[in-house]
Amino acid sequence: MQNYTTAKESAHIMEGEPISVLCTPALVLDVDKVKINAQKMIDRYQKLGVQLRPHMKTHKTLECADIMTGGSRRCIVVSTLAEACFYADHGFDDILYAYSVPFDKVERCAALSERLDLFQVLLDHPDALELLRKRPLRDGGQWHVWMKLDCGNGRAGVLHSEPGALRLAQDISETEGVELTGVYVHCGNTYSCRGVEQIHAVAQETIDLTLQFMEKLKAVGISCKSSIGSTPSCSHPVKDMAQLSEVHPGNYVFYDVQQSTIGSCSLEDVAVRVLTRVISHCPHRNQLLIDCGWTGISLDGAGKLPTGYAVIEGHPNLKLVSMTQEHGRVEPSSGQLDYSRYPLGSLLTLIPYHSCAAAAMHSVYHVHSGGRLVGKWMPTRGW
């Protein structure tokens, strides 16, 4: 009878081996960089006296959540109910589901609210509040609600300058069975910044508008928390951030090429890579073919980097010019390819434009320290 190696045995065998043994495309994480990035953010906000509520959306794993929370398994943000249930099932609590209450998922939100010590939801419309009012929690429990405020980001949230924003906050605080826990602001407009000075300017404006709104609440007798967040603004905090209750960045634990171009980090801080192999030479078009298509790294960034869709580490003259589902086309920025430098089967290392998008393409993250495998992290998936 043939003997088969179990997945557990295979994982054990591979520990300690170089990452080059992996089948490609493979997403690899430098666990030492992950820990450094996480600890820097923890230290930064302990010093400021502001609660760090790390976002799980980038990695969606238990191991990384433990690192980001310093092992407390408390005070996290999630972007999907799949994440919320995943973390709740593994002993996490004080979870904020920071996504405008989806009308088809109120029952699932209620179940989590009744099960956990603290499950919090977010809304930006009176109709969502009415849904919560119509679904009272058992045993006199309170819905813990954050109101999403738009202070220039231009995505979800009621606009800070609209009279309806203050009205909605008042309605939340006055609704039976509902508590206004806080005001939640995302300053994703920092993603258009270049350099720390621009990041500071956007963050300062966001904080000013948030604090002005908090003063409006105070004037009508409402007291609650305030939270802003984005990886750029939280990587380079301005002094007035100390006046907030919480911050909620997430991408910082991995970082990526996009964050390095914004000025949030240096390329050396990026903890994630996608390994790929050369599978064909195409001299008739001066290209290499690699085994990483958009299913391995995503199309995020639209190929606008000088190096195309990613940075090819150690090869500044190479450009990932296009991808199909399972193939990538690589060519030189100038001149003719020296194919002897890239034999078939040789390994290339891609630094992704957007780590959240690249991570979403993979069901397993291969974790290494100093280029030697130390384990696997399995993210949750779905919505």
Residue 9 has pLDDT above 60, yes or no: no
> 262 φ, ψ to 5°?
-65, -40
Q: What is the mean pLDDT of the chain?
A: 95
CB 271 within 8 A of CB 368: no
The domain ranges of the chain are: 17-26+266-377, 55-252
Residue 11 has pLDDT above 90, yes or no: no
| List of residues 6+ apart from 221 with CB closer than 8 A | none
CB 147 within 8 A of CB 180: yes
**How many other CB atoms sit within 10 Å of the CB of residue 74?**
15
Average pLDDT of 13-28?
92
Beta strands in the chain (DSSP E): 26-30, 51-52, 74-78, 93-100, 119-123, 143-150, 158-159, 178-186, 225-229, 246-247, 272-282, 287-290, 310-312, 318-323, 328-332, 347-352, 365-369, 372-377
CATH architecture of residue range(s) 55-252: Alpha-Beta Barrel (3.20)
Specify the pLDDT at position 300.
Answer: 97
Residue type, 57: K
Specify the pLDDT at position 5.
Answer: 37
Q: Give the helix/strand (H/E) hosting 283.
A: none
Question: DSSP secondary-structure letter at 201?
Answer: H
CATH code for the structural domain at 17-26+266-377: 2.40.37.20
Segment 161-201, tens digit of pLDDT: 999 999 999 999 999 999 999 999 999 999 999 999 999 99
Query: Coil, helix or strand for 197?
Result: helix
Query: Coil, helix or strand for 30?
Result: strand
Task: Single out the residue of 171, 169, 155 nearest to residue 213, CA to CA.
Answer: 169
